[in-house]
Amino acid sequence: MIAELIYPAKDIVGESLVWDYLRKRLLWVDIIGKTIHAFDPVAGNHREWDTPDFVTSIGLRKDGGAIVAFTKTICLWDYGDEFTQLAAVEPDRPGNRLNEGVVGPDGAFWCGTMQNNIAPDGQPLDITEDAGQLYRCTSDGQLIRLSNDLFGISNTFIWTDDGCLITADTLKNEIYRYAVDPETGRLSDRRIILSNFKRGLPDGSAIDAKGFIWNCRVVGGSCLVRFRPGHRIESVIDLPCSWPTSCAFGGDKLDTLFVTSARFTMEDEHLQAHPQEGGLYAVRPGVTGLPCHRFG
């Protein structure tokens, strides 16, 4: 399987990729570039919107719009110039920011925080503590903290057929499985299902129709890994980028796996030799995925 660069976005931190099957396009964000992208992989049409703040994640709504997270807020967006705030996240913790955010099968927006690692000018800041936690935001703006566990960098939200949540801590190089209370969403019984894989660190993930998880290996991992919760890694797909960040199945048959990437902290010399860093990629993995969930 060979991954192909399909759009040279040159994102600083491309993230939160989702396939809009109604509009037949991909949506994703460049966190530090303060940009939301839309791309039709068949026609090759690309559109982007500037955002007023670092934009950390995006999901689709049942009413046709989108839900967008910034550093401290979750907003509704209708593909125009205005973002309508739905919820504030950790307003009492100014040193934290939102990171991963995904719409779950319950129609809520599940998101995680972390100690802020981005200066106002977009330069990197050191992470000195595990300060992130996981939350669930419903359509009425109610925000619920899901557990007391702390994360260095919260990443990945995947739901299994048996109702469990798969999530990760990038800094610890660990992927977890949680039991989920079906009434409240509260998490319990955390178990490590993948740890210490030697290539990179875990970032965003997708799940295929057979129940296997595809995880992007950021920070030099240059690959995707496919595994089933509780089992060994089944396959590894090499990618022509150093920092793959998020992935989503798309296309009419959901048989293409699209991947975003980042060029954050990379030296100019490396970027001159590898201008494809931060691009959008596509690979045909030989399996199909599942449609994304919608908020509301």
- State pLDDT tens for residues 188-229: 999 999 999 999 999 999 999 999 999 999 999 999 999 998
Structurally, the chain folds into a number of domains equal to: 1
Token reading at 155: 């990443």
Q: What average pLDDT does this structure show over 128-144?
A: 97
User: Phi, psi (5° rounding) for residue 282?
Assistant: -140, 140
Identify the three-state secondary structure at position 269. helix
When pLDDT is cut at 50, 70 and 90, the band that residue 263 belongs to is: very high
What is the domain-level CATH number for residue 226? 2.120.10.30
Identify the three-state secondary structure at position 212. coil
Percentage of the chain with pLDDT > 70? 100
Range of the domain at 220: 4-295
When pLDDT is cut at 50, 70 and 90, the band that residue 139 belongs to is: very high
Buried b (16+ CB within 10 A) or exposed e, 45-56: eeeebebebbbb
pTM (2 decimals)? 0.96
pLDDT at 245 over 90: yes
Identify the three-state secondary structure at position 30. strand
pLDDT at 88: 98
When pLDDT is cut at 50, 70 and 90, the band that residue 231 belongs to is: confident
For 47-103, write each residue's pLDDT tens digit: 999 999 999 999 999 999 999 999 999 999 999 999 999 999 999 999 999 999 999
Q: What average pLDDT does this structure show over 244-262?
A: 98
Q: In 116-255, at which residue ranges do the beta strands (DSSP E only) sit? A: 134-137, 143-145, 154-159, 165-169, 174-180, 187-195, 201-207, 213-218, 223-227, 233-238, 244-250
